[in-house]
């Protein structure tokens, strides 16, 4: 099973979540601007994570998803999405937006979009969020193998 966790991160928080999830899945965490379409085509499972920036996924994440719009992955790939966000703001929902776009191009969404919480715009992650990412990774693992 070839698993890739694609992430964007300005201050390192989303990267930490991505690396934690990738570890649980024996997968690879790859920065959004280092991913090629060939890498996606070779993957069985694609997890996409982004910090929320102005109620949306980051620009690079949006650009990557847009670049896939001509693809049809129906029946070929499983996926899930996550974001990092500041709880006290009206957050918006980047993870759900990513999930919707992945579904539109045929990915099978294996578990609902997941938010992770940072305590300020530069972080750090809230205390229990690495543990939450570990558990989410384990849940994904079960879904992938079921």
Ligand X SMILES: Cc1cc2nc3c(=O)[nH]c(=O)nc-3n(C[C@H](O)[C@H](O)[C@H](O)COP(=O)(O)O)c2cc1C
Query: Which residues of the shown chain bind ligand X in the complex (CB under 6 A)?
Result: 9-15, 51-55, 84-86, 89, 91-92, 118, 121, 123
Whose Cβ is closer to ligand X: residue 77's or residue 97's? 97
Per the structure block, which two tokens stand in for 42?
Answer: 């070779």
Q: CA 15, CA 30: separation in Å to the nearest integer?
A: 9
Query: Shortest distance, CB of residue 58 to ligand X, whole angstroms?
Result: 8
Return the number of other C-beta atoms located less than 10 Å from residue 84's C-beta.
30
Whose Cβ is closer to ligand X: residue 28's or residue 60's? 60
Query: Shortest distance, CB of residue 74 to ligand X, whole angstroms?
Result: 31
Cis amide prior to 124 (ω within 30 degrees): yes
Query: Shortest distance, CB of residue 18 to ligand X, whole angstroms?
Result: 9
Query: Shortest distance, CB of residue 54 to ligand X, whole angstroms?
Result: 5
Whose Cβ is closer to ligand X: residue 73's or residue 82's? 82
Contact 83, 49 (CB under 8 A): yes
Contact 95, 113 (CB under 8 A): yes
Return the number of other C-beta atoms located less than 10 Å from residue 121's C-beta.
13
Whose Cβ is closer to ligand X: residue 60's or residue 143's? 60
């Amino acid at each position: 099973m070839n698993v890739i966790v694609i992430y964007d991160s300005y201050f390192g928080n989303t990267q930490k979540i991505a690396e934690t999830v990738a570890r649980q899945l024996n997968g690879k965490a790859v920065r959004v601007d280092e991913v090629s379409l060939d890498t996606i085509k070779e993957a069985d499972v694609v997890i996409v994570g982004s910090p929320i920036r102005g109620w949306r996924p980051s620009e690079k994440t949006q650009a990557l998803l847009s670049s896939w719009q001509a693809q049809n992955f129906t029946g070929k790939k499983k996926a899930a999405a996550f974001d990092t966000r500041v709880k006290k703001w009206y957050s918006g929902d980047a993870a759900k937006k990513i999930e919707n776009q992945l579904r539109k191009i045929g990915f099978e969404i294996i578990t609902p979009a997941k938010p992770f919480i940072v305590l300020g715009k530069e972080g750090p992650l809230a205390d229990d969020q690495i543990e939450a990412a570990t558990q989410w990774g384990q849940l994904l693992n079960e879904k992938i193998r079921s």
